[in-house]
Chain A
């Protein structure tokens, strides 16, 4: 990442983000109403969260001070198109969950699987429908064999 003329390596970026997050949690574990509440063993409720976050900050600082010399391979391969694909997949997963909660397994699984496969490039369209139906049946069969109750199915 580049801010003005200053280049910050990916390790340093991740270290800074983690350190800030842990710092925020440390602040909470000093200021929250439960932070100094005494427990039966004489320690306060915030004792362990404080230690944990201090360790996290310390280690994050080490990552910032001694970052790896190599650039993460997967980060280098990350493209805006790839991120869009992941975001679409993620939204599709959320859509599936909403349908699952409201309409049950079959009404959610088949359209989402077939639609997801079509979006990912399964062609012609009736192959997406076919694979979606087979996959829905296979997942149902698997959960049935495991004796696992599925939403919307009695």
Chain B
């Protein structure tokens, strides 16, 4: 039952104009990041993370959630206008969005993407607001043994689902664990694996890790692939020409079924650790195509296709916070970054948060909802302009992003070693990308490792070192068995996943001849 006092306090937090202001800035930054191919949602959120430290808690939530919402939609702008998805989650949107663009119906496609994104966002955010506190009540009954088993299961899901090769995904997660244990032992306060460097005593901070992994590594990779010149310059005139024909309500109504499917599929993918928005939009699109009466239109400029992909993509945004808020276990990179912002504000994600800082959690959820309306208004106004932002050439983009990465990492606590760590992590991230190791499992494992260690050690203390007794409860056993099943099933399905991804690569507009 919602406590009126808590609700009142949460309303007081979001009534602060600085919250609205930061949400608006966040959405604009997010749309920019999303619209520029090569900059991911995670990179944008990671670059915004240091700024949250300087802001009041409500405004900090506003900024980071604004970036998340804005970039999730922003990815569809370049997907539709240039057939180049700004974010991975928007890849399916380009299948129908770009053909519509070529037919001179770019505005219709962009509006379908925006309205289906916001509809899906609002519904799933409300669902998150209802479900997260209920699950947190259940999570409160979890002991350290159950929590350890849950984290092991999350590791297994994140590692195996993030990549076609489950072993490489799990190995990336293991590397995240290695990075996560550097620093002081939580019980003995003794330094471990610091290689004699005093500045590693406090461990690796989340900001240099996130910025290094997502922003620096991406820019280094872009530099290796840089050949000079912008390839999409001639398409600006098409963008301007295509923003004339808008979406009619009758047309939008026909997409309701696809949006519903997207919401269903996306919210499930959002809750499950490791799946994320790319899988959600892919599954929603495939399902909508199978169930549609106009399935032949899919891939040629179907509004239903855009609606399904975008609704599926955005439906993950709210539900991905459920495992974070209810169990303290982030199930996706954006959730981990929001968890990072919470930690920077002294709010460690756990089910206890609903009791100790109930108004803050409610304010976070209300901001999640509020950001949709800000996104709707701002995106409607700015998308014709942002369609051209996606054309920003690499010659300008790369130096700016590298500069933002360095300033953001250094300025938040004026520690030069943070920049050094960011550079090292950037190189590791670059090598991981080159050798095709997924980055999200590493980041999520890095964040979960202290929690895992704490829970495992507590459970061993309770059972006096008896590891079997620590996991003897039916719930722990079930989760551990599920983890083992996931491990073995992932090998069975990995070859199928490779085949599906190859098929999708073939379907991508870049690989199709556009008439």
Give the interface of A toward B (CB within 8 A): 10-11, 13-15, 18, 22, 25, 28-29, 32, 34, 37-43, 45-46, 48-49, 52-53, 55-56, 59-60, 62-63, 66, 68, 70, 72-75, 77-79, 82-83, 85-86, 88-90, 92-94, 96-97, 100-101, 105, 109, 112-113, 116-117, 120-122, 131, 135, 138-139, 142-143, 145-151
A60, A86, A101, A117: which contacts B220 (Cβ < 8 A)? A86
Q: Is the CB of A62 within 8 A of B167?
A: yes
Give the residues in chain A near B423, CB-CB below 8 Å. 90, 93-94
Q: Is the CB of A120 within 8 A of B178?
A: no
Q: Is the CB of A72 within 8 A of B187?
A: no
In the assembly, what is the distance between CA of A32 and CA of B191, in Å? 10
Q: Is the CB of B407 within 8 A of A83?
A: no
- Given A45-B188, A56-B171, A68-B165, also A145-B435 (CB < 8 A): no
Interface check B296, CB cutoff 8 A: no
In the assembly, what is the distance between CA of A77 and CA of B400, in Å? 25
Name the residue among B224, B434, B453, B457 with the largest chain A CB count within 10 angstroms. Answer: B224
Give the residues in chain B near A63, CB-CB below 8 Å. 165, 167-168, 171
- Given A72-B435, A121-B229, also A46-B178 (CB < 8 A): no
Name the residue among B48, B190, B460 with the largest chain A CB count within 10 angstroms. Answer: B190
- Could you tell me the distance in whole angstroms from the C-beta of A110 to the nearest C-beta in chain B? 10
Give the residues in chain B near A121, CB-CB below 8 Å. 228-229, 395
Give the residues in chain B near A145, CB-CB below 8 Å. 25
Q: How many A-B contacts if CB must be within 8 Å?
A: 209
- Given A74-B436, A85-B223, A120-B395, also A93-B193 (CB < 8 A): no
Interface check B200, CB cutoff 8 A: no
Q: Is the CB of B165 within 8 A of A96?
A: no
Q: Is the CB of B407 within 8 A of A25?
A: no
In the assembly, what is the distance between CA of A75 and CA of B464, in Å? 49
Give the residues in chain B near A72, CB-CB below 8 Å. 434-436
Give the residues in chain A near B55, CB-CB below 8 Å. 146-147
In the assembly, what is the distance between CA of A53 and CA of B182, in Å? 12
- Of the four ranges (under 10, 10 to 19, 20 to 34, 35 or more), the interface on chain B belongs to 35 or more
Give the residues in chain A near B278, CB-CB below 8 Å. none
Q: Is the CB of A40 within 8 A of B407?
A: no
Which of B8-16, B286-294, B408-416 sits within the interface?
Answer: B408-416
Within 8 A of A (CB), among B48-88: 48, 50-51, 54-55, 63
Interface check B398, CB cutoff 8 A: yes
Q: Is the CB of B219 within 8 A of A89?
A: yes
Interface check B181, CB cutoff 8 A: yes
Q: Is the CB of B220 within 8 A of A150?
A: no
Q: Is the CB of B193 within 8 A of A49?
A: yes
Q: Is the CB of A48 within 8 A of B181?
A: yes
- Given A43-B457, A82-B225, A146-B54, also A120-B411 (CB < 8 A): no
- Given A34-B192, A52-B178, A85-B226, also A41-B187 (CB < 8 A): yes
13 residue pairs from A and B, CB less than 8 Å apart: A13-B435, A14-B437, A32-B192, A34-B191, A42-B460, A48-B457, A74-B221, A90-B220, A96-B403, A116-B399, A122-B396, A148-B51, A151-B414
- Could you tell me the distance in whole angstroms from the C-beta of A118 to the nearest C-beta in chain B? 9
Give the residues in chain B near A10, CB-CB below 8 Å. 435
* Closest chain A residue, CB of each to CB of B430: A86
- Given A63-B168, A66-B167, also A117-B399 (CB < 8 A): yes
- Could you tell me the distance in whole angstroms from the C-beta of A104 to the nearest C-beta in chain B? 11
Interface check B238, CB cutoff 8 A: no
